[in-house]
Structure 1
Amino acid sequence: MTYVDEVYQRVVDQNPAQPEFHQAVKEVLDSLRPVIEANEAHYRKEALLERITTPDRQILFRVPWVDDQGQVQVNNGFRVQFNNAIGPYKGGLRLHPSVTLGTIKFLGFEQVFKNSLTTLPIGGGKGGSDFDPKGKSDREIMAFCQSFMTELYKHIGPNVDVPAGDIGTGAREIGYLYGQYKRLRTAYEGVLTGKGLTFGGSLARTEATGYGLLYIVNEYLKDHNDSFTGKTVTVSGAGNVAIYAIEKAQELGAKVVTTSDSTGWIYDPEGIDVALLKEVKEVKRARLTEYAAARPSAEYHEGRGVWSVKTDIALPCATQNELHLEDAQTLVANGVQVVAEGANMPTTREATDFLQENKIAFLPGKAANAGGVAVSALEMSQNSERLSWTFEEVDSKLQAIMADIYQNISAAAKKYGKDEDYVAGANIAGFEKVANAMEAQGIV
């Protein structure tokens, strides 16, 4: 058994019933085989892979809060500080009923390499709770956030661990969390990103992940003498990432024809109306049925189906493992050219392998959706300098970061004889920087 296989088996044995974490580790380790095998004795002696697949610490805590009926509710809270070899832990807080320790560990592990790829000095972490903000009043959400932060504040700080938003954690939640942090710490400091613009937030943060996704796909297209002009694009999801990916794709000359939420999806052959989508999802917080009711050209379908639509570029922007093998087969049969991940690990391993085997350009999430955390790091810089940059300044820096990421993952893939394998390129480029920093700092 090779060193890579031994470490993967160790992860499975030591982390039972955490399939997402196993999946994320296996994808990374498989990509790293040529790097590890070139110097296996050294990496084995240093236990480098054991250290990089084991979080620095895992924090689990109870979150009690009182609902509007006076009933006490109890949720589970998590923060996994995975690796801080290149900077303070950085990663979002996910609020969703599906959140488990395994989910948070998979996201934190991915975040280590994603953050490394941004070229900015930030380590990897993730957190969240199985609390569901949907259907809750503002007072209930505030009660939950204050209780959550009453424990979390002990473990974070601007030079220690800087959480951000994620699924279920938007500007409202970040505001409540930050208010409680200030109350407990009696300090005004940049400990959270995704803050409101009136208290240290950054322009372009809301748009960053979706815009960054389009910027890296655009770099790929330019590298292959192509562009978005005239392309048909399918997008899943209807949150921040999806909305702003749709907006930027249409600005770049494409027509986006789908969007989806947890109950169904829209096919709009005239192109998604971004203003209407924002009104339905950001203002009303309603279902896509309202979009279809207000848009004569739109067809609403229950369940899944976005990937059945003929497309040139597919952008999964909803949640993990949403694009299955049969979806990949349909996309390939319909002539897809590029699949780029706006969400974290939205494509199953079988689907990813199939796309790559069929020579479809596949840009993995740790590279393609790094724009969000990149602008979070830029928010940290602005907070440290007590400055606020213009939208254009932040957007320009974001474009440069995404262009660098594409060039770095492309170069890393070529270096190890895996030209155009952007999964391998992203994992290798992210790993090498973190591994070098870990070795330089000794056995810690």
Structure 2
Amino acid sequence: MSSQQPLEPEFYQAYNEIVASLKDSTLFEQYPKYEKVLPVVSIPERIFQFRVTWENDKGEQEVASGYRVQFNSAKGPYKGGLRFHPTVNLSILKFLGFEQIFKNSLTGLDMGGAKGGLCVDLKGRSDNEIRRICVAFMTELQKVIGPNTDIPAGDIGVGGREIGYMFGAYRKQRNAWEGVLTGKSTNWGGSLARPEATGYGLVYYLEAMLKYVRGNSSLTGMRVAISGSGNVAQYAALKVIELGGMVVSLSDSNGSIVVPEGSNRGINAQQVETIAAGKLKFKTLQQIITSESSIFSKDHITYLEGERPWTHVSRVDVALPSATQNEVSGLEAKSLIASGVRFVAEGSNMGCTPEAIKIFETARLNATSPENAVWYATGKASNAGGVAVSGLEMAQNSQRSHWTFEQVDAKLKAIMHNCFNDCIEAAKKFNNENIENTLPSLIKGANLAGFIKVADAMIDQGDVF
């Protein structure tokens, strides 16, 4: 496969990252059979593109392109989210589906990789119109999914409301109540801890990183910069606050809120919950902090219009990019390192640009000791908590049972810690770096561990021969 394809830049960025990790290791040297897997796993098993039409509130017909990329099913039924956003295109969905293959395998659960979505902007639309959009989308999607074939979930633009509308449409069109979507309401088949899962899981992965380096997983007193203000960022922030860390930033596509240098107060839980409520109404951060001025004290929060937080946070220990792809540039990576960052873990998919990753990895290799290293974790491992609990929701649906929040949360933490351990083990086993004074590469470890699990399944089943 060509390493360059200008029509699909996001997909080839994800592809090239995997290739770089595999080739910059001893995997193919130790096990030549795996080299044959790469060109096969890099092409989706099938792609569906379909027309979605609906009537808007003005009585006018609208039309948009819908997609489902069923990338790989060697490890289990296709699993991956649905994204409703005006930026949705085939390149982005192929990149997300490709990443999903290896992310899902890292959970240790039986799930393949897929992604789908609709090129639409839901902002400003009524609930009734959104319901019509969801029904129209599911009318086509239901032809290619099922509880043992493909189980979609939510993603950007698709939350509990949209999952509910789509599940209702599927149930009526197929005359079947099946666990065909995850992220459902707990009143009708959903799992407790699913909304929290990606953000909580991100922090559990961070805890494992901290324990490996420092001998304990405490976040007490640590300054944590977070981007985004959606589901992942909200719950990551709440978990950081619960564990004693100080959240120093959040953001959206219009700007950022940052805790100024010298302030000893971070963004608090009430403020995060206020932001969450505002985001459900499609409000911007600026609108939320303006309308709720009594909650957002100006003495310890600054709003920066049109800016991402990374170059504006002073002294920071941890960075958790949790907004969207390529949200940390090379320049911003350098700024974070200058601000003292030691741990970077992605809550978003492919949150850091290749330039940023190279800078973080160079800082890791050049460290004089593990305590001074910058340690970067790729999203396919660190944000796997969401799909992990989706897998647990599938298990509960199959059993027709419900687990407590504490049961699900404990399983989530165990999955994230096991994922970290798998990444460390693979990084060490296939390492070709001198890491006497620093730490193993978590990006290589994640790519290697995820790839090997999928490759073994594909070889066993005759997909590669």
Does TM, normalized by the shorter one, top 0.5?
yes
Matched, 1:266 2:263: no
The CA deviation string for residues 155-211 of structure 1, in whole angstroms up to 9 with x for no partner, is 000110000000000000000000000011100010000001111010000000000
Q: How far apart are 1:278 and its partner, in Å?
A: 2.4
Q: Where do 4+ consecutive residues of structure 1 move more than 6 Å? A: none
Correspondence for 1:91 among 64, 80, 92? 80
1:304 corresponding residue in structure 2: 307
Correspondence for 1:246 among 237, 240, 256? 237
Contiguous gaps of at least 5 residues in structure 1:
1-6
Which aligned pairs between 1:387-426 and structure 2 lie closer than 5 A? 387-417=401-431, 418=433, 420-426=440-446
SS of corresponding position for 1:258: strand
Correspondence for 2:56 among 47, 64, 67? 67
Which aligned pairs between 1:135-214 and structure 2 lie closer than 5 A? 135-214=124-203
2:368 corresponding residue in structure 1: none
SS of corresponding position for 2:357: helix
In structure 1, C-alpha distance between the alignment counterparts of 2:361 and 2:34, rounded to whole Å: 28
Does structure 2 retain, via aligned residues, the 8 Å contact 1:66–1:72? Answer: yes
The CA deviation string for residues 75-120 of structure 1, in whole angstroms up to 9 with x for no partner, is 1101000000010000000111111000000000000000000000
1:81 corresponding residue in structure 2: 70
SS of corresponding position for 1:358: helix
Amino acid at match of 1:401: I
SS of corresponding position for 2:54: strand
TM-score, with structure 2 as normaliser: 0.90
2:282 corresponding residue in structure 1: 285
In structure 2, C-alpha distance between the alignment counterparts of 1:36 and 1:234, rounded to whole Å: 35
SS of corresponding position for 1:206: coil
Q: How far apart are 1:273 and its partner, in Å?
A: 2.6
Q: How far apart are 1:223 and its partner, in Å?
A: 1.4
Amino acid at match of 2:249: T
In structure 2, C-alpha distance between the alignment counterparts of 1:141 and 1:42, rounded to whole Å: 48
Amino acid at match of 1:275: Q
The CA deviation string for residues 371-429 of structure 1, in whole angstroms up to 9 with x for no partner, is 00000000000000000111000000000000000111011000012552000000000
SS of corresponding position for 1:58: strand
In structure 2, C-alpha distance between the alignment counterparts of 1:23 and 1:280, rounded to whole Å: 32
Residues 368, 43 of structure 1: CA spacing in aligned structure 2 closer, same or farther, 3 A cutoff?
Answer: closer
Q: How far apart are 1:43 and its partner, in Å?
A: 4.4
Q: How far apart are 1:16 and its partner, in Å?
A: 4.8
Matched, 1:30 2:25: no
Which aligned pairs between 1:294-443 and structure 2 lie closer than 5 A? 294=293, 295-296=296-297, 297-308=300-311, 309-310=313-314, 311-359=316-364, 360-417=374-431, 418=433, 420-443=440-463
SS of corresponding position for 2:142: helix
Residues 334, 83 of structure 1: CA spacing in aligned structure 2 closer, same or farther, 3 A cutoff?
Answer: same
Amino acid at match of 1:144: I
In structure 2, C-alpha distance between the alignment counterparts of 1:277 and 1:139, rounded to whole Å: 28
Which range is displaced more, 396-405 or 259-268?
259-268
Which range is displaced more, 321-330 or 276-285?
276-285
- Between Structure 1 and Structure 2, the one with more helix by share is 1
1:124 corresponding residue in structure 2: 113
Residues 62, 230 of structure 1: CA spacing in aligned structure 2 closer, same or farther, 3 A cutoff?
Answer: same
Count of paired positions: 432
Percent identity, aligned pairs only? 50
SS of corresponding position for 2:310: helix
Correspondence for 2:122 among 127, 133, 155? 133
Amino acid at match of 1:142: R
In structure 2, C-alpha distance between the alignment counterparts of 1:443 and 1:286, rounded to whole Å: 47
Q: How far apart are 1:292 and its partner, in Å?
A: 2.8
Q: How far apart are 1:443 and its partner, in Å?
A: 3.3
In structure 2, C-alpha distance between the alignment counterparts of 1:185 and 1:354, rounded to whole Å: 51
Does structure 2 retain, via aligned residues, the 8 Å contact 1:31–1:423? Answer: yes
Which aligned pairs between 1:2-21 and structure 2 lie closer than 5 A? 7=1, 9=2, 12=4, 16-21=6-11
TM-score, with structure 1 as normaliser: 0.95
SS of corresponding position for 2:143: helix
Amino acid at match of 1:422: L
SS of corresponding position for 1:141: helix
2:371 corresponding residue in structure 1: none
Amino acid at match of 1:281: A
In structure 1, C-alpha distance between the alignment counterparts of 2:141 and 2:30, rounded to whole Å: 40
SS of corresponding position for 1:195: coil
Does structure 1 retain, via aligned residues, the 8 Å contact 2:34–2:455? Answer: no
In structure 1, C-alpha distance between the alignment counterparts of 2:322 and 2:208, rounded to whole Å: 19
SS of corresponding position for 1:162: strand
Q: How far apart are 1:135 and its partner, in Å?
A: 1.2
Amino acid at match of 2:406: E
**What is the alpha-carbon root mean square deviation over aligned residues?**
1.4
In structure 1, C-alpha distance between the alignment counterparts of 2:345 and 2:16, rounded to whole Å: 20
In structure 1, C-alpha distance between the alignment counterparts of 2:34 and 2:96, rounded to whole Å: 24
Does structure 2 retain, via aligned residues, the 8 Å contact 1:409–1:429? Answer: yes
Correspondence for 1:219 among 174, 187, 208? 208
Residues 16, 221 of structure 1: CA spacing in aligned structure 2 closer, same or farther, 3 A cutoff?
Answer: same
Q: How far apart are 1:281 and its partner, in Å?
A: 3.1
In structure 1, C-alpha distance between the alignment counterparts of 2:34 and 2:254, rounded to whole Å: 47
1:3 corresponding residue in structure 2: none
Contiguous gaps of at least 5 residues in structure 2:
365-373, 434-438
